Amino acid sequence: MPVCSYLAYPARGAKKELAKELSALRYCEVTPSENEEILLLVTDTPDEKEEKALQDTLKNIKSLQSLGMTFGHMDE
Amino acid sequence: MNINRRSFIKSMALKSAVAAAAALFPGISFGAWKEADFPSGMIQWKKTPCRFCGTGCGLLAGISGDRAVAVKGDPNCSVNKGLCCVKGYHSIQILYGKDRFKDALVRKNGKLVKVPVQEALDLVADKMKENIKDHGKDSVAIYGSGQWSIADGYTASKLFKGCIGTNNVEANARLCMASAVTGFMTSFGLDEPMGCYDDIDHADVFITWGNNMAEMHPVLFSRMLANRKSKKHVKIIDFATRTTRSSQASDKSILFRPQTDLAVANAICYEIIKNKWVNWNFVKKHVSFHKGKTNIGYGTQDHFKFKDKAETVDLNKYKAFLQDYTPEKVEKISGVSAKDIKYMASLYGAPDKKVTSFWCMGMNQHTRGTWINNLVYNIHLLVGKISTPGNSPFSLTGQPSACGTVREVGTLTHKLPHGVVMKEKDRKMAAKIWNVPVEKIDPKPTYHTVEMFRALDRGDIRFMWIQVTNPMVTMPNLKRYREGAKKDGRFLVVSEIYPTPTSDVADVVLPSALWIEREGFFGNSERRTQHNEQIVPMPGNTMCNTWQLIEVARRLGFKKQFPWSRETYIEDIWNEYTRFHDSPKHRMAPYKVLKARPGVQWPFVNGMETKWRYNPKYDPAAKGDDFDFYGKPDNRAWIWLRPYEPAAESPDSEYPFWLNTGRVLEHWHTGSMTRRVPILHKAVPASYVEINSDDAANLGITNGSRVKITSRRGSIVMIASIDGRGRPPRGMVFVPFFDEKYLINEVTLDAFCPISKQPDYKKCAVKLERA
């Protein structure tokens, strides 16, 4: 049951679009910054299979330039 | 409870992201973020320094029952101000790996089998006695660590140097910090930086010398970025041999050929003098000029000896020496354009800019490590940019207590807690405090680390106790030393927390308590001593390393020297140890003060910490009206004439590539802890070899394919990484050493700086083949 948090950097000018796309995903909670081009993403998936599927989905989001992980937890 | 725990973890995850964002973007706001309020009593927060690097971040460990369940940055700690890196945020998970050693093991019929800890300690003491009786006191040795708590190192030094009478005491900080020490000693006469991390908030320019801070010191790197964000004129220059995440975040990335930093540093000094940027008031009053020996060798043979000799010279001789280092000449040696050399010189030389230089392993793991440390000090001394806020030549440490335990306690063959074994007055002080006859302390150093493992191979050393380090991964030219350790007649004791290639060759494994399972102290890069209490119980039959040493000392008949009770021994040791440093130059904070605060910088005099040494405005030991370099007999800082000399082994037609080794953000050194944290392991599950894309294309190597790396000492097959997070230039490959499945040190060379005796892990020659 992984819980992770990330700094999500949008592609140029795509912050709003990225916030919308991430918010629409299962297991994702998004907190956009009010004054910088960055969003916080917290993911909470039920198992490794879903986690991998989510990672694959994230990789294909065009409005997302990069993710920087700031926290990760996994129940063993 | 599960719902609460899950919510709590999610709240921690969000908090971590907020803290990271706040460090990168000062003033950032998140209107939608509301800190969750958890029922009081669910979690208790206790302060501790982080277990990993030498930055010394203050953490708060969240405790529920007997278990550490969460971690966050300590907002009261001035080092990190509430921020952590990815290792820090996962640090408590290192306590709970499934294969933790919880019992003592003794090798019987070739296999390690469980025995009661007391039986294992009896065997350790018996083997020590037997070897001392049969082969003399110098046949036994201890090899410790910059991850030793201060009490561990102090107890080891007292037992081996004071009671047994052997100087066979070394620590892995020899592999990471020895050149910094000899650099400080030769330039200033005293070890450790004059400045502190507050320099990061004051500097206008940062020049990092072979130092990937974005991955190795990410919290300090974030502070640099925050400074640049808040002041638009601030510049970060990355001067390195390969392109890294630090290069990508810098304002300018300048690449140099391995080893030629020596020439570039001299060229910067040449330019400073030529352009009249010298601060003559400072230089005339506070600097003297000196020359040492040249063509000093590389230490690759057993019993290699070298002793430098300083000759005082004048400014004219220094100017004449620099004539060989015009930017145009150095461009040919280094590959750095004359324009870029002049640009760096102009940054150091600009009278209105405060400049901080940072370095770590790139300069220290160098066969001329002492020299390159001297040369960067030369630059700062010529322009008088030192010992004031923002003006700081700053050697960062790699381990949490390389400074506190190895450098300050002196767990190296030639050192004592105060001074060196060679000086009678230092031996007398130690003998008095240790309650041993002064004759017991041998005035002759024995073996530095590489030579100690050579002595184990030769059979001069027959018993070695290894605590808190993993030399069977980290020693250069590893095959020789692993085979040596396995020879008949050798006896290895390993105090460890998890199985490693070092515990694999042990005759006895002592299960160690880790970090917050025991009380202790660390000392970080900026002279800050940090205390942690025991926060969670020791698992199984684990035992604190200090107590293991005390138990063996008593069995060897030294009860009088180790009289402390199990309830108070850490405090008692601190009180005894600090008697060695009872002067304004190095006074340490009392136990009670350390217990209450998230770290205290020494010298701690009249209740005040010292942020900048050698400046009477901040340093109670400094006299006069501006600067006082009181470490040297002439009360001056020394500028050294140190030439460029090539590496011990350079690429040639047979072995055409440089091999450079190092670390990655997610893993701590040999990975024995971080590879057991699932999220860190998954982030970087295996080591790899970074190859330049043009070289890869020429060799027909693609990303992810298998590559054989061969040197004159060994070979290894690894997966190629092309255009990944690090990009070496053509003619170089880079391999992280954290993964014991890929022992890259079987390929590296055991050449070292003849002054510091620190090996160079950054430069040897290899060839590549598709595998």
pLDDT digits (tens, 9 = 90+) for B550-567: 999 999 999 999 999 999
Residues B81 and B111 in one domain: no
For B452-456, the CB contacts below 8 A with 24+ separation are B452/B141, B452/B143, B452/B168, B452/B170, B452/B413, B453/B481, B453/B484, B453/B485, B454/B302, B454/B480, B454/B481, B454/B484, B455/B141, B456/B141, B456/B481, B456/B484, B456/B485, B456/B490
The tokens 């220290």 sit on which residue?
B364
Q: Which two tokens stand for residue B319?
A: 């100017």
CATH of the domain at B28: 2.20.25.90
- What is the spatial distance between Cα B465 and Cα B556, in angstroms, rounded to a whole number? 15
Q: With beta carbons under 8 A apart, name residues in chain B contacting A36.
A: 21, 25, 28
Q: Which of A36, A70, A73 sits opposite B17 (nearest CB)?
A: A70
> Dmax of chain A from CA atoms?
39
pLDDT tens, position by position, B106-147: 999 999 999 999 999 999 999 999 999 999 999 999 999 999
Which are the contacts of B685, defined by CB distance < 8 A and separation ≥ 6?
A: none
Counting Cα atoms < 13 Å in the Cβ hemisphere of B201 gives 9
Nearest residue of B to residue A44, measured between CA atoms: B10
Q: Which of A2, A5, A38 sits opposite B14 (nearest CB)?
A: A5
Q: Is B548 a catalytic residue?
A: no
Q: Which of B72, B54, B376 is nearest to B220 (CA)?
A: B54
Nearest residue of B to residue A40, measured between CA atoms: B17
CA-angle at B196, arms to B193 and B201, nearest 5°: 145
Per-residue pLDDT averaged across A12-32, rounded? 92
Q: Which of B544, B481, B627, B537 is nearest to B156 (CA)?
A: B544
Contact B50, B57 (CB under 8 A): yes
Helix (H) or strand (E) holding B370: helix B369-382
- Count of beta carbons in the 10 Å neighbourhood of residue B317: 14
pLDDT tens, position by position, B214-238: 999 999 999 999 999 889 899 999 9
Q: With beta carbons under 8 A apart, name residues in chain B contacting A72.
A: 13, 86, 89-90, 679-680, 683
Q: Which two tokens stand for residue B526?
A: 């900026």
Interface with B, mutate which of A34, A36, A40 (most B CBs under 10 A): A40
Helices B545-555 and B117-135 pack at an angle, to 10 degrees, of 60
Q: Is B87 a catalytic residue?
A: yes
The tokens 């073996």 sit on which residue?
B447
Determine the distance in angstroms separating the CA of A43 from the nearest CA of chain B, rounded to an integer.
Answer: 8
Q: Which two tokens stand for residue B444?
A: 């002759």
pLDDT at residue B2, rounded to an integer: 47
Separation in Å, CA A69 to CA A8, A66, B18 = 9, 10, 12
Domain endpoint, select from B614, B641, B668: B641
Interface with A, mutate which of B3, B4, B10 (most A CBs under 10 A): B10
User: How is B48-77 classified by DSSP, letter by letter?
Assistant: EE-SSSTT--EEEEEEETTEEEEEEE-TT-
Q: Which two tokens stand for residue A9?
A: 């950097």
Residues B459 and B505 in one domain: yes
pLDDT at residue B270, rounded to an integer: 98
Separation in Å, CA B231 to CA B173, B198, B217, B225 = 36, 15, 21, 10
Contact B692, B729 (CB under 8 A): yes
Instruction: Test A40 with B683 for CB contact under 8 angstroms.
Output: no
Task: Answer yes or no: is B269 within a domain.
Answer: yes
Catalytic residue among B58, B88, B398, B726: B398
pTM for this entry: 0.90
B70 touches chain A (CB under 8 A): no
Q: Is B360 a catalytic residue?
A: no
CATH of the domain at B319: 3.40.228.10
Instruction: Test B19 with A70 for CB contact under 8 angstroms.
Output: yes
A46 touches chain B (CB under 8 A): no
| B14 band by pLDDT with thresholds 50, 70 and 90 | confident
- Upstream peptide bond of B471 is cis (omega within 30 degrees of 0): no
- What is the spatial distance between Cα B751 and Cα B647, in angstroms, rounded to a whole number? 9
- Count of beta carbons in the 10 Å neighbourhood of residue B27: 10
Q: With beta carbons under 8 A apart, name residues in chain B contacting A15.
A: none
- DSSP 8-state assignment for residue B537: P
- What is the spatial distance between Cα B614 and Cα B631, in angstroms, rounded to a whole number? 9
Q: Which of A6, A35, A68 sits opposite B28 (nearest CB)?
A: A35
Determine the distance in angstroms separating the CA of A24 from the nearest CA of chain B, rounded to an integer.
Answer: 17
Instruction: Test B678 with A5 for CB contact under 8 angstroms.
Output: no
Q: Which two tokens stand for residue B508?
A: 């006895």
Q: Is B176 a catalytic residue?
A: yes
| A65 band by pLDDT with thresholds 50, 70 and 90 | confident
Task: Answer yes or no: is B420 within a domain.
Answer: yes
E strand intervals along B460-597: 463-467, 491-496, 508-511, 520-523, 528-532
Domain hosting B168: range is: 104-176+401-563
Per-residue pLDDT averaged across B296-320, rounded? 97
Q: Is the pLDDT of residue B707 over 90?
A: yes
pLDDT tens, position by position, B709-739: 999 999 999 999 999 889 999 999 999 999 9
E strand intervals along B419-514: 463-467, 491-496, 508-511
Which are the contacts of B548, defined by CB distance < 8 A and separation ≥ 6?
A: B121, B467, B495, B510, B512
Nearest residue of B to residue A33, measured between CA atoms: B30
Nearest residue of B to residue A71, measured between CA atoms: B13
Residues B287 and B302 in one domain: yes
Q: Is the pLDDT of residue B669 over 90?
A: yes
Determine the distance in angstroms separating the CA of A47 from the nearest CA of chain B, rounded to an integer.
Answer: 14
Instruction: Test A76 with B678 for CB contact under 8 angstroms.
Output: yes
Q: Which of B280, B279, B252, B254 is nearest to B265 (CA)?
A: B254
Q: Rounded to 10 degrees, what is the CA torsion of B711, B717, B718, B719?
A: 120
- DSSP 8-state assignment for residue B402: I
Q: Which of A2, A40, A76 sits opposite B17 (nearest CB)?
A: A40
CA-angle at B475, arms to B710 and B397, nearest 5°: 115
Instruction: Test A31 with B33 for CB contact under 8 angstroms.
Output: yes
pLDDT at residue B32, rounded to an integer: 66
pLDDT at residue A70, rounded to an integer: 83
ipTM of the complex: 0.97
Task: Answer yes or no: is B570 within a domain.
Answer: no
Taking the CA atoms of chain B, what radius of gyration do you get in angstroms?
25
Domain endpoint, select from B563, B592, B623: B563
**CATH number, domain A3-73:** 3.30.70.920
Catalytic residue among B361, B464, B588, B764: B361
> Dmax of chain B from CA atoms?
76
Q: Is the pLDDT of residue B608 over 90?
A: yes
Task: Answer yes or no: is B291 within a domain.
Answer: yes
Q: Which of B468, B497, B499, B473 is nearest to B485 (CA)?
A: B473
Which are the contacts of B768, defined by CB distance < 8 A and separation ≥ 6?
A: B657, B691, B695, B699, B701, B707, B708, B709, B710, B733
A20 touches chain B (CB under 8 A): no
Contact B94, B514 (CB under 8 A): yes
pLDDT at residue B1, rounded to an integer: 43
- What is the spatial distance between Cα B606 and Cα B603, in angstroms, rounded to a whole number? 10
Catalytic residue among B87, B353, B415, B762: B87
Residues B72 and B165 in one domain: no
User: How is B138-201 classified by DSSP, letter by letter?
Assistant: GGEEEEE-TTS-HHHHHHHHIIIIIII----EEEGGGGTTHHHHHHHHHHHSS-S-SS-TTHHH
Residues B171 and B192 in one domain: no
| B41 band by pLDDT with thresholds 50, 70 and 90 | low
- Pick left, alpha or beta for residue B730 (phi over 0 → left; psi -120 to 50 → alpha; otherwise beta): beta
Percent of chain B scored above 90 by pLDDT?
91
Q: With beta carbons under 8 A apart, name residues in chain B contacting A42.
A: 10, 13-14, 17
Instruction: Test A69 with B13 for CB contact under 8 angstroms.
Output: no
Q: With beta carbons under 8 A apart, name residues in chain B contacting A6.
A: 17
pLDDT at residue B382, rounded to an integer: 98
Q: Is the pLDDT of residue B279 over 60?
A: yes
pLDDT tens, position by position, B579-606: 999 999 999 999 999 999 999 999 999 9
Q: Which two tokens stand for residue B479?
A: 């095959």
- Count of beta carbons in the 10 Å neighbourhood of residue B476: 25
B280 touches chain A (CB under 8 A): no
B86 touches chain A (CB under 8 A): yes
Q: Is the pLDDT of residue B23 over 80?
A: no
Q: With beta carbons under 8 A apart, name residues in chain A contacting B98.
A: 76
pLDDT tens, position by position, B456-474: 999 999 999 999 999 999 9
| B38 band by pLDDT with thresholds 50, 70 and 90 | low
pLDDT at residue A76, rounded to an integer: 56
A65 touches chain B (CB under 8 A): no
- What is the spatial distance between Cα B195 and Cα B393, in angstroms, rounded to a whole number? 8
Residues B237 and B317 in one domain: yes
Side chain identity, residue B422: M
Catalytic residue among B147, B259, B399, B601: B399
Residues B370 and B275 in one domain: yes
Domain endpoint, select from B592, B611, B641: B641
Contact B538, B517 (CB under 8 A): yes
Q: Is the pLDDT of residue B675 over 50?
A: yes
Residues B430 and B386 in one domain: no
Strands B657-662 and B732-736: parallel
- What is the spatial distance between Cα B593 and Cα B599, in angstroms, rounded to a whole number? 9
pLDDT at residue B298, rounded to an integer: 98
Q: With beta carbons under 8 A apart, name residues in chain B contacting A74.
A: 678-679
Q: Is B177 a catalytic residue?
A: yes
B12 touches chain A (CB under 8 A): yes
* B20 compared with B357, residue with greater pLDDT: B357
SS3 state of residue B361:
helix
B100 touches chain A (CB under 8 A): no
Determine the distance in angstroms separating the CA of A1 from the nearest CA of chain B, rounded to an integer.
Answer: 10
Task: Answer yes or no: is B584 within a domain.
Answer: no
Helix (H) or strand (E) holding B378: helix B369-382
- What is the spatial distance between Cα B386 and Cα B355, in angstroms, rounded to a whole number? 9
- What is the spatial distance between Cα B143 and Cα B146, in angstroms, rounded to a whole number? 11
Side chain identity, residue B32: A
Interface with B, mutate which of A22, A27, A71, A76 (most B CBs under 10 A): A71
SS3 state of residue B312:
strand
pLDDT at residue B33, rounded to an integer: 64
pLDDT tens, position by position, B180-220: 999 999 999 999 999 999 999 999 999 999 999 999 999 99
Contact A68, B20 (CB under 8 A): yes
Catalytic residue among B77, B128, B176, B673: B176
Q: Which of B12, B14, B21 sits opposite A38 (nearest CB)?
A: B21
Task: Answer yes or no: is B609 within a domain.
Answer: no
CATH of the domain at B720: 2.40.40.20
> What's CA B262's distance to the chain center, in Å?
21
Give the count of domains, chain B: 4
Q: Is the pLDDT of residue B40 over 60?
A: no
Instruction: Test A3 with B13 for CB contact under 8 angstroms.
Output: yes
SS3 state of residue B331:
helix
Q: Which residues pair with B391 in a beta bridge?
A: B388
Side chain identity, residue A22: L
A23 touches chain B (CB under 8 A): no
Q: Which two tokens stand for residue B117?
A: 């800890």
Nearest residue of A to residue B26, measured between CA atoms: A36
Determine the distance in angstroms separating the CA of B29 from the nearest CA of chain A, rounded to an integer.
Answer: 6
- What is the spatial distance between Cα B552 and Cα B197, in angstroms, rounded to a whole number? 40
Burial class (CB in 10 A: 0-12, 13-18, 19+), B314: exposed
Q: Which residues pair with B64 in a beta bridge?
A: B67
Q: Which of B328, B335, B369, B261 is nearest to B731 (CA)?
A: B335
Q: With beta carbons under 8 A apart, name residues in chain A contacting B225.
A: none
Q: Is the pLDDT of residue B642 over 90?
A: yes
Q: Is B662 a catalytic residue?
A: no
Q: Rounded to 10 degrees, what is the CA torsion of B191, B194, B198, B204?
A: -120
| A43 band by pLDDT with thresholds 50, 70 and 90 | very high
Task: Answer yes or no: is B683 within a domain.
Answer: yes
Residues B707 and B727 in one domain: yes
Per-residue pLDDT averaged across B291-312, rounded? 97
Determine the distance in angstroms separating the CA of B660 from the nearest CA of chain A, rounded to an integer.
Answer: 26
Instruction: Test B29 with A33 for CB contact under 8 angstroms.
Output: yes
Residues B390 and B296 in one domain: yes
Task: Answer yes or no: is B626 within a domain.
Answer: no
- What is the spatial distance between Cα B103 and Cα B510, in angstroms, rounded to a whole number? 7
